[in-house]
Amino acid sequence: MDTYTALAERHGQGSSQRYRKILQLVMTPRQAELVALLPAPWEELSQKSGMSLQEVKDNIRDLFIKGVVIPKDFQTLEGARFARSTIQLHDATEADLRVEKTVGEKLFDLWEDFSQHEWYPRVAQDYGQRPVPFDRVLAAYKSLPKDPGVTKFDDIREVLKAAPLMAVTPCSCRQQARAKNNPVETCMQFGRSAEYAIARGSGQKLSYEEALKVIDKAEDHGQVHMFLNAQMLNYGVMCNCTKDPCVAWTPLLQHNVPVSKRAAKSRFEAVVDRELCNGCQVCVDRCQFDAIDMVRPAGQKKYKAVVDAEKCWGCGVCVIKCEPEALSLKLVRPLDYIPTQRPAVVA
């Protein structure tokens, strides 16, 4: 078994020629041999690879910047190891605006080819068997109702306040699809994930105020907050998603697996005050879940918005752009709807 195949096998992709092409693009044959030796001390790597100590360090730094290896120490780069899984390699190599300079935009095409033909079908099948969704929608904070039942686990501002360190990176999914119709730099990293992104130069460090501006931008453009589906505020990543492209949603939508297998709804549901609705249809265009239709009530000339409660995920992106304030969120699920334990993740 050659080195690239052996590394692909670590991610369960040993038989995939498409995955092999990704690995060949992000590391040279000598670098692949070096990665196969990880983790190991510098001296051992030098001895086994035949590289000088400086060559080892230079190559590890290059692989770190490209997202191929993750060091234990982000400053000294000691304790480096190969990316743990397919999803980790996917996100690390693509969530970086420097891709064109480091490996080339061909990377996006290779990931897209592998995703569509091999990875997405398996991801959909895997999530289809999961008893508890890993993610949960967090409502746009400006849409939250003034209800005593609203908790810190419902409020994205509380997630930001709880983070010891924050950074923003490009969304790997929108990068891969070269999606230009929505802001790309809205993927939030917290704690050690933020430290990693800042150290390798793929992410920008944020204060609380700066992070809130990123959230405002995401909400303004109709992106849906996806956070850990558990009663926890400390977790490494929060996505701001659109259903296409999205490594979380696209596989499920393509292969007829309910999105609810991956993500849980928020604890809220959108409702319409028909007396205030002016029929502008902005909410219809903004809804990622096709939960809003326009109907003409009997005896009236104007069409009014109607929310399908079954389809509504309580994301609130419709509410924040409703100028006549006809739309609002109501609390419809108890706190124990949110699991107390962290669900298992798909690799």
pLDDT digits (tens, 9 = 90+) for 218-230: 999 999 999 999 9
Q: Is 67 helix (H, G, I), strand (E, B) or coil?
A: coil
Confidence (pLDDT) at 298: 84
Question: Residue 80: which residues within 8 A CB-CB, separation 6 or more?
Answer: 38, 39, 60, 63, 64, 69, 70, 71, 72
pLDDT > 90 fraction of the chain, expressed in percent and rounded: 87
Question: Residue 309: which residues within 8 A CB-CB, separation 6 or more?
Answer: 269
What are the beta bridge partners of residue 190? 166
Domains of the chain, by residue range, sit at: 1-84, 122-265, 268-331
Average pLDDT, the chain: 94
Does pLDDT of 347 surpass 60?
no
Residue 196, both tokens: 């990693």
Q: What is the DSSP letter of 117?
A: I
Exposed e or buried b per residue across 68-79, where buried means at least 16 C-beta atoms within 10 angstroms of its C-beta: bbbbeebeebee
Angle among Cα 106, 77, 9 to the nearest 5 degrees reads: 50
- Dist. CA 271–CA 307, nearest whole Å: 6
pLDDT tens by residue, 265-299: 999 999 999 999 999 999 999 999 999 999 998 87
pLDDT tens by residue, 174-194: 999 988 788 999 999 999 999
pLDDT tens by residue, 10-63: 999 999 999 999 999 999 999 999 999 999 999 999 999 999 999 999 999 999
- Dist. CA 245–CA 289, nearest whole Å: 14
- Dist. CA 284–CA 291, nearest whole Å: 8
Residue 17, both tokens: 């020629």
Question: Residue 23: which residues within 8 A CB-CB, separation 6 or more?
Answer: 4, 7, 8, 32
Cβ–Cβ under 8 Å, residues 330 and 145:
yes
Lowest mean pLDDT of 97-111, 246-260, 283-297, 311-325, name the range: 246-260
Task: Kindly indicate whether the domain formed by 268-331 is annotated with CATH number 3.40.50.9100.
Answer: no
Assign a CATH topology to domain 1-84: Arc Repressor Mutant, subunit A (1.10.10)
